[in-house]
Structure 1
Amino acid sequence: MWYLGCNGFVLKAEDTTVFIDPYLGTGDPPRTIRMVPVPFDPADVEQADAVLATHEHTDHVHGPSQAPILESTDATFYAPDDGLAVARDEENWTDEWDVSDDQLAEVAAGDTFEVGAFTVHVEPAHDPDATHPVSYVVEYDGRTFFHGGDTKPSDEFARVGEEYDVDLGVLAFGTVGNIPDKETREPKRTRWYNDENQAVEAASDLQFDRFLPSHWDMWKGLTADPTALHDHVRSFEYPRRLEIAEIGDRVDL
């Protein structure tokens, strides 16, 4: 797999390619300002079987980032209901790009589906800023990957941790910052992602063998130092190891 910055990942196994939350926009300056490079032009993608979105926010469902991938590869876009509403109603993917409605598939917690070599389980997520967020558990050849989107700790995670043997898990990590309000543009104290203690609580409940923090690199004012998590995970059984990746890095399972 490759880390795309923000919360984006590409997973590859055999002849199957799956994108999760790829975001190739620059934000909404001056409110949100991207702090890492845009890794590629989505129109250049030649192989993809699916694009998975965890929830409806712009850096997770974004027509200019994702619709060109569907257009050039005939991949299927999987998202919870409000994520599909963005694609269908707000951004009109089927009108603005050569994307058919049958490429847009709704998912909800409890679903399981196959994408080529991967088995994808849809599990709950707890993101108070989203409407119906989900997390994804992706299995391949005895290996298991968890992507929580922007989730914070959840009462469901102890069950998920018992149900799956998660080899590598991703959780969003960041600081609290003053970010301009969407309507007034006045600075507002903002917490979008897990702090150190929340991240370790969730990773511990989910019983990650390896924990890879994401999103810490993305927005000006909300960036963080993921190496600070070393001290926080030290006294817990899980996660067993902290894995740090920067944009473009490849991680193997």
Structure 2
Amino acid sequence: MSDHNDPQITSDWGDWLPRTIEAAEPDGVALWYLGCNGFVLKGSDETSVWIDPYVGLGDPPRTVRMIPVPFDPHDVYDADAVLATHEHTDHTHGPSQAPILANTGAPFYAADDSLAVTDDEGWTEHWDVEADQLHEIEEGDSFSVGGFDIDVVRVNDADATHPVGYVIQYGDTTVFHGGDTKPHDGFAEVGERYDVDLAVVAFGSVGRVPDKETREPQRTRWYSDENQAVEIAEALRADRMLPSHWDMWKGLTADPTALHEHARGFDYPERLEIVEIGDRVDV
């Protein structure tokens, strides 16, 4: 949600995380949490899909990053696609994503307003990114990356101008990533159509964030609260829910373990996956 383009990115962790992902040989699908709403999915065919990787520092003092920078994107040499869910800086960000595209030649999939960011930031001018790597997608589209079949679905993020979500299938495994979505009437249909094994749901508290223009503190809700997060997972009939984004911005952080009490009275999700930045989950 921040709006600052970091001129230089320095990882707190060196290159061990991209090297770990690169060396992994999952039996089915493995997923790594990059913090914020970033993830890497890797299949047994060694195809890796990166979603919303962001290693920027935000826009202090408006948005202050609360977690380490887990990798330098110049150290990423193993990516078969990069996906963006919407146009906000912590989801579409040249310094975080363009070096990955330049290193790997991977395609970048995003909706029109996210691609507008690539124009504004000059990805093809300032990084070694080719125009034919940038692919516009919209709700209802489908595409494949190696063994991953990816459907683009409608989501509900009123703070974004054109958000999209992804249903990602790899054999019998299905992962949903909705960006920063809140509950949406269409998720029940998604739950009926797909057998969702894992739903990534952006979760956070309500806080006071300085307005972008006036810098006056404003009551801000960017992510689903406990009840909304469970409502999304229930509509999707997700076996597991993985809360994301709760770790990122000062004043909007939350306790993901609180979701246990909210989820226990519902059939879905059957299980919560509580992870920290850098953790791996086998789906």
Aligned-pair distance for 1:141? 1.6
Q: Is residue 161 of structure 2 the alignment partner of residue 161 of structure 1? A: no
Query: What is residue 183 of structure 1 aligned with on the other side?
Result: 213
Query: What is residue 194 of structure 1 aligned with on the other side?
Result: 224
Q: Is residue 113 of structure 2 the alignment partner of residue 82 of structure 1? A: yes
C-alpha distance in structure 1 between counterparts of 2:63 and 2:108, whole Å: 25
Query: What is residue 106 of structure 1 aligned with on the other side?
Result: 136
Q: Is residue 48 of structure 2 the alignment partner of residue 44 of structure 1? A: no
Query: What is residue 54 of structure 1 aligned with on the other side?
Result: 85
Alignment of 1:1-253 (within 5 A): 1-13=31-43, 14-88=45-119, 90-253=120-283
Q: Counterpart of 1:149 in 2: which secondary structure? A: coil
Identity %: 71
Aligned-pair distance for 1:117? 1.1
C-alpha distance in structure 2 between counterparts of 1:20 and 1:164, whole Å: 20
Aligned-pair distance for 1:131? 1.2
Aligned-pair distance for 1:39? 0.6
Aligned-pair distance for 1:208? 0.6
C-alpha distance in structure 2 between counterparts of 1:173 and 1:149, whole Å: 10
Q: Counterpart of 2:282 in 1: which secondary structure? A: coil
The alignment covers a number of residue pairs equal to 252
C-alpha distance in structure 2 between counterparts of 1:228 and 1:132, whole Å: 30
Q: Counterpart of 1:237 in 2: which secondary structure? A: coil
Q: Counterpart of 1:251 in 2: which secondary structure? A: strand
Q: Calculate the aligned-residue CA RMSD, in Å.
A: 0.5
C-alpha distance in structure 2 between counterparts of 1:17 and 1:235, whole Å: 35
CA offsets 1:200-241 (integer angstroms, 9 cap, x no match): 111100111000000000000000000000000011111111
Aligned-pair distance for 1:165? 0.3
Aligned-pair distance for 1:15? 2.1
Q: Counterpart of 1:4 in 2: which secondary structure? A: strand
Letter in 2 for 1:23: Y
C-alpha distance in structure 2 between counterparts of 1:56 and 1:243, whole Å: 27
Letter in 2 for 1:50: A
Moved over 2 A (4+): none
CA offsets 1:101-137 (integer angstroms, 9 cap, x no match): 1000011110110001100010111000011111001
Letter in 1 for 2:279: D
C-alpha distance in structure 2 between counterparts of 1:200 and 1:47, whole Å: 34
